[in-house]
A and B are shown apart, each in its own frame.
Chain A
Amino acid sequence: MAVGWVKRSAAHHAVSEIERVEKAVLETSRMQLHKLVEEALPELEMMIGWAESSDPLQTTPIFIRDAKSISKLTCGPLCSQNLTGYLVKPPALDSVPKDAKPIGICVKGCDSRSLVALIQEKFLTRDRVRIFGIPCRGTVDWRKVEKRVQLLNVKSATVEDDWLILDDSGTTHKIALEEVLSRKCLGCRYPNPVIHDVLIGQSATPRSTDLATTYRDVDAIEKEPLEQRLAFWQSELDRCIRCYACRNACPLCVCQDKCIVETREPRWLTQRAGIPEKFLFHFIHAMHLAGRCTGCGECERVCPMEIPVTLIKEKLNKIMEEMLGYAAGLDPDAVPPLLTFNPGETEI
């Protein structure tokens, strides 16, 4: 077999292994993915990946149990969703008995960190998943595309070299990929999956290797006077419609139906749609992710009101890195600092 399972690779993956898989005979990542999934599917309960949707600019998750559907699988810059949340939520969680075969899943670099965090917090054991790692050069934010060209009836969207090429009602738009990448991608340090069983395609070069680049948006806000920062968040959060897409999309928001903003007994938050309620919700969400958030940006990606909600979590992540030297979701064996209790702690 030309490409086999790379055994139990952990974080900080060796470059040689990446190269080994790159030399695989398959020409394109997509074909390689199909081949690998085809080989693996008999050993899997189901395969979770991305497929084309009715909008060529966006992909949709697909849950494959039948080899017939493998051809629908796709990968690349249009696969922006982090799929790992499905591992701990229905249907993957409910429909799969505990002794069932592993679940296959496609992950980009950022997604793989969520997977690590889920393993760290014991929501998942490593042997329950077969990880198809896909090095990532950044994902497209369709809203940024929409701001550049008026989208009427997109017939196709393809990525060629550094360009996103759209065919919209007979007009071809050629847009620099760089200009329509998601905000989180621009400071990405981990484009290559930190955990995987197999890698697909060529390894990607990190856009950032330092905190200053990764947290540039946080730094920019922190330079503003306090009143302006408050005004910024009030105006941004004012748009919130309390649809909770940010919460439901978050792979690490694990309270599910017991979320503090909806429980009736006790009722912590009123139904009012004022800024105080929205503020409280978003900051509770962020605080519950302190030291856990891997910065995958799902909360921001799904927000219909374009509120930069990941930024709040980025601030916490920055504190974690600066104070405790800890970034979430890198090492499955590490214990996150806020999940430890040391009676002899002297530093706090």
Chain B
Amino acid sequence: MAVKIFIATDRLDSVLEKLSTKIDLLIPASLKDDKSAPTGFVPFVPGTAPAFDRQTTTPLKKALLPQVETLLRFEYHKDPQGSPKSSVTVDDQRQVRPTLVFGARPCDVKALTTLDRVFSNGPYVDPYYVERRKNTLFATLVCRQNDAKCFCTSVGGGPADMEGSHLRIVPVDGGYVVEALSPEAQTLLENLADAPDSARDAQAGQIVEEALKRRVGELDTKGSPEAFRKRFDQTDYWFQMINQCLGCGVCTYVCPTCYCFTITDEVENLKGERLRSWDSCMFYHYTLEASGHNPRPTKLERYRNRVGHKFSYIPERYEGLLGCCGCGRCIRSCPVSIDIRQVVGHLKENTSE
């Protein structure tokens, strides 16, 4: 028997406060005092107003793959003979706290299926990611605010897609109906609030029904992997598509499925830290080799790689899974209005053009 509760809008803060005594909470919220400012997922503290009315500016992925994290700390030791780096001690202790993301969107949670394939399904398992993944639950909002840049159903998701979610939040008149979708989520909902009345329960049901039917976006990705391969060497095509690209990292940093990272050692005297931080395939240094050679020397090769990775390499490697969740953030944030739907859509057009 599913557990459902109703949280009235004016009780949301107190319910979240109560919930935060059971588990750490991350909620979507404005990143400054101004409500209309850019939003992101932040740790809940009482009084933080959740921004449920629009998609966050920055994606959810940082909950599992922080922009920067310390992989380990190290310290070299001198031996009595005076050799400065004769031994090294390494400390990779870390603490991961159970966390509930309250108010994620289906597209953001869907994106984690791509990250899972890369970080947890082998052959190389990333312990840092896996630990966070196991300790993070998702309460996902049935999405009613898709805009012209959203295209989740074009890439296998949907506004009511609950794949990977533990709780479903349905915005109804006067509040939210929250339903547990897994046993561990049921425990979280205990003693939080009353069950919804029958009218609200019915309304929630209708909203879910409607969202399940809604089509968002018209991109057709069928055949993209092959079409991309055909286009690969057509420099004119890529120039035409991305001439205007500035080569910044916005699209990759707001992307919920982009996961590339770099590792650097930050050393001071004999002590240091090994950091992992987000990298962007749009940057020159991303593929710069030690010899000085760069296999992707210009933005053309770099942008082509971004499209190929998401719509050709990942689906070919992972049984049709796409490296895109259709959230539209890259389109919304691109300073020069590059629309990845157009680039992918045109792949299949007459290739002689």
Contacts and interface: CB of A to CB of B under 8 A. Distances in A.
A276 interface: no
Contacts of B275: 270-272
Contacts of B38: 239, 304-306
Nearest to A55: B337
B243 A63 contact: yes
A54 B57 contact: no
B248 A90 contact: no
B58 A273 contact: no
Interface string B312-337: 00000000000000000001010111
B199 interface: no
Interface string B264-297: 1010000000010100100111000000000000
A305 B31 contact: yes
Interface residues of B, number: 44
Contacts of A91: 239, 243
A152 B298 CA distance: 35
A302 to B, nearest CB: 3
B335 A249 contact: yes
- The SS class assigned to the B binding surface is loop
B147 A243 contact: no
A211 interface: no
B43 interface: no
A302 B248 contact: yes
Contacts of B37: 306
B90 to A, nearest CB: 19
Interface string B18-35: 000000000000011000
A247 B32 contact: no
A151 B150 CA distance: 12
B284 A257 contact: yes
Nearest to A262: B285
Interface stretch (B117-125, B201-209, B249-257): B249-257
Contact of A241 (B58, B285, B299): B58
A271 to B, nearest CB: 4
A168 B273 CA distance: 51
Nearest to A58: B337
B342 interface: yes
A148 to B, nearest CB: 9
Nearest to B339: A54
Nearest to B262: A271
A208 interface: no
A301 interface: yes
Contacts of B243: 61, 63, 91
Contacts of B249: 242-245
A264 B148 CA distance: 40
A245 B264 contact: no
Given A90-B299, A273-B68, A305-B57, A243 B32 contact: no
Contacts of A152: 145, 147-148
A243 B244 contact: no
A267 B149 CA distance: 38
Contacts of B57: 304-305
Given A60-B244, A61-B244, A152-B145, 15 more contacts: A55-B337, A63-B243, A90-B298, A95-B239, A241-B67, A242-B249, A243-B249, A249-B335, A256-B284, A257-B284, A262-B284, A270-B266, A273-B67, A273-B68, A306-B37
8 contacts: A60-B337, A152-B147, A239-B31, A243-B253, A257-B285, A262-B284, A270-B266, A306-B38
Closest 9 interchain pairs by CB?
A: A302-B335, A53-B337, A245-B248, A257-B284, A60-B337, A271-B277, A243-B249, A61-B244, A304-B333
Interface of B: 31-32, 36-38, 57-58, 67-68, 145, 147-149, 239, 243-244, 246-250, 252-254, 262, 264, 266, 275, 277, 280, 283-285, 298-299, 331, 333, 335-339, 341-342
